[in-house]
Structure 1
Amino acid sequence: MASQSSPQSVHDFTVKDAMGNDVDLSIYKGKVLMIVNVASNCGANGINFTELTQLYEKYKNQGFEILAFPCTQLGFQEPGSSEEIVELARTRFKAEYTIFDKVEVNDRDGRVVERHTPLTSPISVEYDVKKLLGIA
């Protein structure tokens, strides 16, 4: 996943999108990023996908991006293919934010502003998003 041997920030990584294409995360420099693990079979997925879509719609024009990374690692709650995950997110939850290929989430490289539990409602972190956008 890393594009350099000693990354200093998330912008130093290149990752695969859901279609298998390389995405250099430096394209997100200057944006406020919410990097989130998603799982279709997680009990909270309906509300989380819905609230992620609400946050994205509300702040995308102010420099806010959501980078969603499906992961099977935590309780095997994401059995679908990357294409199936994108289809579900787009059709059922109207997600327009970027959904990447499946990853393992236990890597700690990069600078993290906040960490939240899987049960944290995306709307509950809206203040953090606004603060980072400079509108709080």
Structure 2
Amino acid sequence: MSEVENNTTPNPAGDEKLEKKDCEQQQQQETTNGSQQITNGDSFKPEDYKSLYDFTVKDIDGNEVSLSKYEGKVVLVVNVASNCGFTKSNYQQLNELYEKYESRGFRVAAFPCNQFAGQEPGCDADIKEFAKKNNVKFDMYSKIDVNGSNAHPLYRWLKLKQRGIFGTQAIKWNFTKFLINKEGQPIKRYSPTTSPNSIESEFKSMLDPEKTSDDDQQPAAEQPNSQ
């Protein structure tokens, strides 16, 4: 093996340059086409999507992810921002609920969005760092648009399935929430001012039963009858 191949010394400066370049490319792309390369938004056909599981998105690291990973789970989908007045309380409560109910099939899918007062201006690397500092455990996805011609198909579908007050579709602000049942269907939409904790009682009954200590015990082996 060559000397170059053997060189595994980390290069933080180089990594920072790559991240900066990636950020610049992402921000340039957003300026031209909107977030997450949605350039053919007008071709969206709701009938192509039967459930949440039919969608593919990018995670915060840029990897393609099928939302079929949530089959059989109860999911709270929320558009997030790092610099909003609702950020601290929502991130904290979402994290607490996720950690409390993860074992019973509860998931949070967070989609950063910069369409509301520019409160999520950073690139995915910036957002990931913010989430890390806030000890976020739930799923973070790449920044998207939730309104307009470049809105991600997932959000077009969610807004059709669960409209806002007075039947409007548009997302009004950061931290609008959609509750998805175990069949992958959105069953309720919550306003940005609705705290995650206030939703707990509504989804708790939908989760898997809580395990008890008896569930972990193996049944005793049958003893042969003595004659």
**Given the two structures, how large is their TM-score scaled by the length of structure 2?**
0.55
* Structure 1 or 2: more helix by fraction: 2
TM-superposition CA deviations, 1:27-81 (whole Å, max 9, x none): 1100110111110111110011000011001000111110000011222211111
Match of 1:69 among 99, 108, 111: 111
Correspondences of 1:62-101 after superposition (within 5 Å): 62-91=104-133, 93-101=134-142
The match for 2:186 among 106, 109, 112 is 112
Q: Provide the rounded CA distance (Å) in 2 between the counterparts of 1:74 and 1:49.
A: 17
| Percent identity over paired residues | 44
**Higher mean C-alpha deviation, range 103-112 or range 46-55:** 103-112
**2:209 maps to 1:132:** no
**Once superposed, which parts of structure 1, at least 4 consecutive aligned residues long, lie more than 3 Å away?**
none
For 1:6-36, what per-residue CA distance to the aligned partner results, in whole angstroms no more than 9, with x for missing partners? Answer: 1111100000001110000011100110111
Q: How many residues align?
A: 133
Contact 1:65/1:97, CA 8 A, preserved across alignment: yes
Does residue 23 of the first structure (1) align with residue 92 of the second (2)? no
Q: Unaligned regions of 5+ residues in structure 1, if any? A: none
The equivalent position to 1:122 in structure 2, one of 170, 174, 196, is: 196
Mapped partners of 1:18, 1:134: distance in 2: 28
8 Å contact 2:83–2:119 — kept in the other structure?
yes
Q: Tell which has more relative contact order, 1 or 2 (C-alpha 8 A, sep 6+).
A: 1
Q: Which consecutive unaligned segments of at least 5 residues does structure 2 have?
A: 1-37, 148-154, 159-184, 210-227
Distance 1:41 1:119 in 2: 16
In 1, are the aligned partners of 2:105 and 2:208 still within 8 Å (CA)? no
Aligned-residue CA RMSD (Å): 1.9
Question: Per-residue CA shift, 1:72-103, capped at 9, x if unaligned?
Answer: 12222111111211211122x21111100011
Which is greater in Rg? 2
What is the TM-score normalised by the length of structure 1?
0.89
Secondary structure at the aligned position of 2:186 is classed as coil
